[in-house]
Amino acid sequence: MQIERLKDIIQSANMNFLFGSGLSRPYLSTLGEIETWLTDLNTRPGLNDVERDTLRCSIINEYLQGVILPNLQEKINDDLKGYYDETIDNYASFLHNIGILLLQRRMNLCHKTANLFTTNIDMLIEAAVRKTKLEFNDGFAGRKPAIFDEGNFSKMQSKVSMHLQKFHEIPTVNYIKLHGSINWKYDEAIVADDDLDTVKKVMDAFVSIPFLLNVRSEKQKIAKEKGGQSPLSPSDIMSHLISELKKHLKDNEIDHSLYLSALKAYSEIIMVNPTKSKFRETVMDLPFYELMRLFSNELEKPNTILFVGGFSFADEHLSKITLRAANNNPTLLIVVFAYQQADKVLIEKNLNIEEGCQNGNICVLCPEEYKECYSQMNDMKIDNIDSLKHFDLASIDKFVFQPIVSSVS
């Protein structure tokens, strides 16, 4: 996949992005095995309600600490501040470059709008966009509390020239959070929770629990015991957690009501739970299905490009939608940036590209292949291309989109 081709496609295609949790590293943790653990827990036999809820809270607490808690500004400690600033700057630079590409594109061919889909529930992009002049549409409209309506994503922003009385379309990014967000709450409709009051209540509820297994420490403990002789499966780790919990419960009583209260508070965050049966377990499932349908519909449009980063397609629902769109729409091009070669192999497996992709329109790029493509180019220079080691957000922006911006500006 040569950069000249990407440049030409961007000028005349409907532009879409799909971002996963990998692009928020190193500040936020990725989902890792949390989804698998919670799914396993739901069907694991031999557990009573107290044991199951204690384990569920312990696993969810790992998710809260790694993904949700760092969004509270007062919780950003000095050790993490550098990572936070770096991640925000990376997102801001990327958004700035997308704004330029939209501004420079040929008006008569495509609207100056890009769709940024994400499975992330954090607030990093919302923080980053404040550092740019980009028009940003997150689906909310109205005065406080702003109300969410997916129909807002079909609106275009424009301004009128004072002298010529002509309308000019304003470059806009639609930010579509497929799995909900920590700043969403339900009050007869989905409304903006700007102060993150719901999240704060959840954190308070979990802090009040006197005993939780430290999932990360227990995982390290079992790995050390096995001496690295064989890789740990999620099932191995779950079995170890159950064993440790049963040891604790032999000599200790716990107040089940505290765990139930914490789980109830957690359920009030309007987001898709990280389990394999995620949509069946979400009370507010209709908005999420509508957003998934929006994602699917955008990929069905003629002359569409989808850039994917930080996402392995382990999400079976999204992988099926994406592959189906690629097969139904031969004019769709999907470019997936794999963090490294091993991730490329995993992504191609999750998407079943070898057997399932009928049109050959899904391209999974790892850094090594990208550098090889660059070596064959004659008319575009990319500074320090040899330093490209991984396709994280900073590298995708620096080595892919910044050169394209320079060539069209």
Radius of gyration of the chain (CA): 23
Average pLDDT, the chain: 89
Q: Residue 163's pLDDT band (boundaries 50, 70, 90)?
A: low
Q: Whole-angstrom Cα distance, residue 95 to residue 396? A: 12
10, amino acid identity: I
Q: In this predicted structure, what is the pLDDT of residue 203?
A: 95
Q: Residue 283's pLDDT band (boundaries 50, 70, 90)?
A: very low
pLDDT digits 0-9 by tens, 350-373: 999 988 899 999 999 999 999 888
pLDDT higher than 70, residue 118: yes
Q: Whole-angstrom Cα distance, residue 102 to residue 30? A: 30
User: For 222-230, what is the mean pLDDT?
Assistant: 73
Higher pLDDT, 141 or 227: 141
Q: Whole-angstrom Cα distance, residue 289 to residue 297? A: 12
Q: Whole-angstrom Cα distance, residue 321 to residue 316? A: 9
Nearest-10 crossing angle of helices 49-63, 34-43: 170
Q: Which of 60-69, 129-138, 374-383 has the lowest mean pLDDT?
A: 374-383
User: For 322-346, what is the mean pLDDT?
Assistant: 97
Helix (H) or strand (E) holding 159: strand 158-160
Residue 29, CA atoms < 13 Å, CB-side half-sphere: 15
Beta strands (DSSP E) in 272-360 are 304-309, 332-337
CB-CB contact of 335 with 15 (8 Å): no
What is the SS3 assignment for 209? coil
Highest mean pLDDT among 8-12, 16-20, 38-42: 16-20
Q: Whole-angstrom Cα distance, residue 85 to residue 197? A: 24
Q: Which of 6-15, 16-25, 223-232, 343-352 has the lowest mean pLDDT?
A: 223-232
Q: Residue 235's pLDDT band (boundaries 50, 70, 90)?
A: confident
pTM (two decimals): 0.91
Q: In this predicted structure, what is the pLDDT of residue 304?
A: 97
User: For 274-292, what is the mean pLDDT?
Assistant: 65
Strands 172-177 and 135-137 turn out to be parallel
Higher pLDDT, 278 or 222: 222
Q: Residue 280's pLDDT band (boundaries 50, 70, 90)?
A: very low
Q: Whole-angstrom Cα distance, residue 127 to residue 51? A: 39
Q: Which residue has the tokens 């399932």?
A: 356
User: For 323-334, what is the mean pLDDT?
Assistant: 97
Question: What is the distance, to the nearest Å, from the Cα of residue 224 to the centroid of all Cα atoms in its chain?
Answer: 31
> What 8-state DSSP symbol labels residue 135?
E
Q: Residue 197's pLDDT band (boundaries 50, 70, 90)?
A: very high
Q: In this predicted structure, what is the pLDDT of residue 373?
A: 80
Q: In this predicted structure, what is the pLDDT of residue 36?
A: 86
User: For 287-307, what is the mean pLDDT?
Assistant: 95
Beta strands (DSSP E) in 232-380 are 304-309, 332-337, 362-365
CB-CB contact of 310 with 91 (8 Å): no
Higher pLDDT, 225 or 135: 135
Q: In this predicted structure, what is the pLDDT of residue 285?
A: 66
User: For 160-170, what is the mean pLDDT?
Assistant: 67
pLDDT higher than 70, residue 160: no
Q: Residue 327's pLDDT band (boundaries 50, 70, 90)?
A: very high
Q: Whole-angstrom Cα distance, residue 15 to residue 4? A: 16
User: For 130-145, what is the mean pLDDT?
Assistant: 91
Q: In this predicted structure, what is the pLDDT of residue 165?
A: 62
pLDDT higher than 60, residue 107: no
Q: Whole-angstrom Cα distance, residue 112 to residue 173? A: 9
Nearest-10 crossing angle of helices 316-328, 285-300: 30
First to last CA, the chain: 22
Nearest-10 crossing angle of helices 234-251, 34-43: 60
pLDDT digits 0-9 by tens, 51-104: 999 999 999 999 999 889 988 876 677 888 899 999 999 999 999 999 999 998
Q: Residue 279's pLDDT band (boundaries 50, 70, 90)?
A: very low
Instruction: Please report the sign of the dihedral spanned by the C-alpha atoms of residue 102, residue 108, residue 113, residue 117.
Output: negative
Instruction: Please report the sign of the dihedral spanned by the C-alpha atoms of residue 211, residue 241, residue 220, residue 68.
Output: negative
